């Protein structure tokens, strides 16, 4: 059941064929998923028929086997922010944080587009090109270095 007492409908279809993609599993997340799997097995054995197996194979389930809905995740995220005295942001904004961190650490815009599954490179560039200022500084420093090397070589002649 959904949060409002209505039946939960799970649509396993992706929005588009382009949404089908493979990304590497980060080791830390792999470890967490394995731990969660073993915990679910423990609860399933402990609760027997009281454990909900309807959503076997889904990642986001509670300790009784019931699916954790997107609405719950969104609402609980706000609780986590408040408990940790963090600025209120939308859960979706974590995508932007991820992209910003990747860009700041030298990941090419094309790779970020693929990671976020933006339909085109332009969508990603429109969102994040303003964050590429550090790469502009690096470019400017490189040009300055080239000119200073040219000046030094001209002075030596």
Task: Quick: pLDDT tens for 55-80.
Answer: 998 989 999 999 998 899 999 999 99
**More confident site: 97 or 90:** 90
Spatial separation of the C-alpha atoms in residues 50 and 46, rounded to whole Å: 9
Place of tokens 């929005």: 15
**More confident site: 131 or 2:** 131
Query: With bands split at pLDDT 50, 70 and 90, how would you rate the model's confidence at 148?
Result: confident
Q: Is the pLDDT of residue 157 over 50?
A: no
Q: Note whether 94 and 32 are same-domain residues.
A: no
Of 37, 68, 99, the position where a domain reaches its end is 68
Q: Note whether 97 and 130 are same-domain residues.
A: yes
The pLDDT value recorded for residue 116 is 85
| CA triple 15-116-81, angle to 5 deg | 105
3-state secondary structure at position 13? coil
Query: With bands split at pLDDT 50, 70 and 90, how would you rate the model's confidence at 52?
Result: very high
Spatial separation of the C-alpha atoms in residues 134 and 103, rounded to whole Å: 9
Measured distance between the N- and C-terminal CA atoms of the chain, rounded to whole angstroms: 82
Q: What is the pTM of this model?
A: 0.64
Within a domain: residue 78? no
What is the number of domains present in the chain?
2
Provide the residue range defining the domain that includes 91. Answer: 87-157
What is the chain's Cα-based Rg? 24
The pLDDT value recorded for residue 133 is 64
Continuous H helices in 10-156: 27-47, 70-83, 93-104, 109-116, 121-128, 133-156
Spatial separation of the C-alpha atoms in residues 41 and 20, rounded to whole Å: 29
| CA triple 123-69-31, angle to 5 deg | 80
pLDDT digits (tens, 9 = 90+) for 18-40: 677 788 888 999 999 999 999 99
Taking residues 131-148, what's their average pLDDT? Answer: 74
Contact indicator for 109, 128 with CB cutoff of 8 Å: yes
The pLDDT value recorded for residue 8 is 65
Q: Note whether 145 and 118 are same-domain residues.
A: yes
The pLDDT value recorded for residue 131 is 67
């Amino acid at each position: 059941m959904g949060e409002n007492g209505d039946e939960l409908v799970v649509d396993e279809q992706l929005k588009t064929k382009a949404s089908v993609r493979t990304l590497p599993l980060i080791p830390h997340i792999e470890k967490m998923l394995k731990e969660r799997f073993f915990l679910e097995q423990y609860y399933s054995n402990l609760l027997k028929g009281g454990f909900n197996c309807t959503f076997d194979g889904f990642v986001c389930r509670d300790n009784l086997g019931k699916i954790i809905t997107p609405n719950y995740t969104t609402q609980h995220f706000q609780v986590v922010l408040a408990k940790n005295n963090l600025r209120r942001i939308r859960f979706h904004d974590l995508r932007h944080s991820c992209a910003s961190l990747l860009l700041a650490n030298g990941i090419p815009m094309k790779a970020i587009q693929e990671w976020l599954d933006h339909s085109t490179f332009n969508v990603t560039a429109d969102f994040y090109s303003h964050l590429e200022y550090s790469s502009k500084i690096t470019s400017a420093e490189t040009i300055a270095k080239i000119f200073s090397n040219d000046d030094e070589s001209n002075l030596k002649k």
